[in-house]
Chains A and B, each alone.
Chain A
């Protein structure tokens, strides 16, 4: 039991370190901004930090914990963004505004993205590896393109939906068009704030950390490590892969809600909901480390900040960004460098606090 307690303590301190990191970062930013010491550029990045962190953490559930390569994560973000923005924009038209609507919008966004994740997951998760990656990529693009083509309006007769143009909606005079095809939704209320983002991020992290250490999370990890063995101890592969996929989708939906209510105009572009975005999120996950929640957050924040910091270099900006990516990847994955880290850990066991290693060195000491 001793060993188990030790391990639990180690895990707990890791989890606490994540919360502390976020809370301290939040406190520092709030303090600085109250003194007016934060540039408007950085101010504008605060909500995206949270959005991308939520996306990275949730994709980590699929890629790192569940072990399935998904390239359509931005698609679920798109679902969450549009469904919630339709709701708040229409409420605004009706003259209802207030932060409680944002809470409802988050629930709507999470729910609809989760349902989409479930519906897409059922056929898609039968595939594995590269095939799954390609199909999720395709579904992500389909969602984005549909969002780009939708015309949606409300009048006293109810909801009007068209994929052609605004005239095709056949709205009455009192009607109101919410989504105008490629022009998207304009005039979404600005509910997102750094505080809201941090709260949502903390909730997301809590859910994922708790999930990982529960029966469901262990079953998901078992399926990742060895599907045949997992089935032989009675774990249904489809069920647990679906759970991971739809929870991650719902969280991407929440990120979408945060994103949509940070802008006045919501349009589905390749830049924000296309596969470019999906791959950017994947980069956060891979760079931060598979299955590592803290790493995902740090990677998301650093890689969002980096291109903005490099603005002064103009044309060389993306070049340097790419070089940084490559260097970090090599440093985190090259076996020879990992060896150096191991040597370092062996030299300073107390520093790294690995219970197994500590035990070994103690024994050798005797």
Chain B
């Protein structure tokens, strides 16, 4: 059985001024796979996420989603609608809004109703609001956040803020989920819990996940395949256990 390639990146490059931030980057992620992207600081990992989500436009190269949809050259909003959602390295929540509202906002594309029906409480307003409430709460339950639903999101503890960000990304119903250092700043227990959450998300929502991470335990624990990036170039690529044995990789990560 041939496995479906969900996200395919070919010859992706971007230069800022004279700097080649990412050069000739290639990537194929199979459907429902957990894929890791690692590399030292400044290797260009987040830049790749920004290219995948349309924050930057690539200088050359192409990105294809699900074999048919070309997403390079599209903007962030269009790309999200096509099925890529992400979290951020430095958490970006809607600080002043409640945990529940944070997720509800991400459901806005699924339950669309016009400004006018919102103002005058007409048409689909009541039905859709009820559906959004329910769905957002169900999603919070998956992440054990339902007791904090009415809390201001900025008052959540750090680990839960990370979870909320993932919940919010999933609420947009993506095919591919990009996680930018989900375990950053977490202690060992929190990381373990996060690993379970990520696996659960993949299985429950049938999602393809690409994650950037520095925590090698997490990478070893859950990533099926791995790409190692150094100075914007691919250092190694393949199955996680193989890649981590690679001498070049050990050198780049641990020094000689």
Within 8 A of A (CB), among B93-117: 93-98, 100-101, 104-106, 108-109, 111-113, 115
A211: nearest chain-B partner, CB-CB: B119
Q: Which of B55, B93, B120, B133 contacts A4 (CB 8 A)?
A: B133
In the complex, A229→B81 CA distance in Å?
14
* Min distance, Cβ B168 to any Cβ of chain A, angstroms: 7
Q: Does B27 contact A (CB under 8 A)?
A: no
Q: Does B240 contact A (CB under 8 A)?
A: no
Q: Does A234 contact B (CB under 8 A)?
A: yes
Interface contact A233-B85, CB-CB below 8 Å: yes
CB-defined A-B contacts under 8 Å, sample of 20: A1-B133, A3-B147, A4-B100, A4-B137, A4-B150, A207-B119, A214-B115, A219-B105, A224-B96, A226-B93, A232-B86, A232-B92, A233-B105, A233-B169, A233-B172, A234-B77, A234-B108, A235-B77, A235-B108, A355-B150
Interface contact A232-B150, CB-CB below 8 Å: no
Interface contact A218-B80, CB-CB below 8 Å: no
Contacts of B118 in A (CB 8 A): 210-211, 214-217
Q: Does B9 contact A (CB under 8 A)?
A: no
In the complex, A207→B88 CA distance in Å?
35
Q: How many A-B residue pairs have CB under 8 A?
A: 106
A216: nearest chain-B partner, CB-CB: B115
In the complex, A164→B94 CA distance in Å?
52
How does the 8 Å CB contact mask read for A288-315 relative to B, with 1 for contact and 0 for none?
0000000000000000000000000000
Q: Does A228 contact B (CB under 8 A)?
A: yes
* Min distance, Cβ B171 to any Cβ of chain A, angstroms: 7
Report the interface size for chain A: residues with CB under 8 A from the other chain: 31
Within 8 A of A (CB), among B122-161: 125, 128-129, 133, 137, 147, 149-151
Within 8 A of B (CB), among A35-89: none
Within 8 A of B (CB), among A310-366: 355-356
Q: Does B76 contact A (CB under 8 A)?
A: yes
Within 8 A of A (CB), among B234-251: none
Contacts of A225 in B (CB 8 A): 93-97
Given A215-B112, A221-B97, A225-B97, A232 and B53 contact (CB-CB distance below 8 Å): yes
Interface contact A210-B119, CB-CB below 8 Å: yes
In the complex, A221→B85 CA distance in Å?
20
* Min distance, Cβ B198 to any Cβ of chain A, angstroms: 19
B111: nearest chain-A partner, CB-CB: A215
In the complex, A229→B53 CA distance in Å?
11
* Min distance, Cβ B145 to any Cβ of chain A, angstroms: 11
Interface contact B151-A356, CB-CB below 8 Å: yes
Q: Does B121 contact A (CB under 8 A)?
A: yes
In the complex, A225→B97 CA distance in Å?
8
Contacts of A226 in B (CB 8 A): 92-95
